Amino acid sequence: MANTQSSDTLQHVRTHVAHGVTNSPLYAHLLPDVIVVSATPQQVVCRLKLEPKHVNSKGGLHGAVSACIVDFIGGVAIAAYDQRSNTGVSTDIHVTYLSSAKVGDDIEIEGSASKVGGSLASTECVIRKVVEEKSREEWPIVAKGSHTKFVRVKS
């Protein structure tokens, strides 16, 4: 797979995201404003400005929303990997919460498909709080996730 962003991959990912947000009531509620920043077969990067619907009673990014984002970006990363449309169903998801973000914060969501096989695909996700005055490497990691999906298509 090429290491550079191709317009075909980026367009495919943007179409996949729009379809997912349109056809999933959960994604339509939580992620209608997600922006695809870049996409290669190795990595997808999105941005989202947090709204009141994204936070818990303490004002921080809700853990269930973080898990939803890990699930979402996992499918997007699989779609980017080989430009497939059917990205499978979840078999497991793991999220580690490291810090938080609040309403008005921008988060960056980075996803990659570390392995896509005939039956299973493994993905990884990092959610960072964007801090414009710092370098990207210094942005706090809010959560990290891993996600496995069953991707075999019935013939």
Structural domains in the chain plus CATH codes: 7-150 (3.10.129.10)
Query: What per-residue confidence (pLDDT) applies to 2?
Result: 43
Alpha-carbon distance 46 to 108, whole Å?
Answer: 6
Query: What per-residue confidence (pLDDT) applies to 61?
Result: 98
Query: What per-residue confidence (pLDDT) applies to 129?
Result: 98
Alpha-carbon distance 77 to 145, whole Å?
Answer: 13
Mind listing the pLDDT tens digit for each residue in 102-138? 999 999 999 999 999 999 999 999 999 999 999 999 9
Alpha-carbon separation of residue 88 from 91, 109, 117 (angstroms): 9, 20, 12
Alpha-carbon distance 44 to 12, whole Å?
Answer: 11
Count other Cβ atoms within 10 Å, centred on residue 67.
Answer: 18
Mind listing the pLDDT tens digit for each residue in 39-86? 999 999 999 999 999 999 999 999 999 999 999 999 999 999 999 989
Q: Is the pLDDT of residue 3 over 70?
A: no
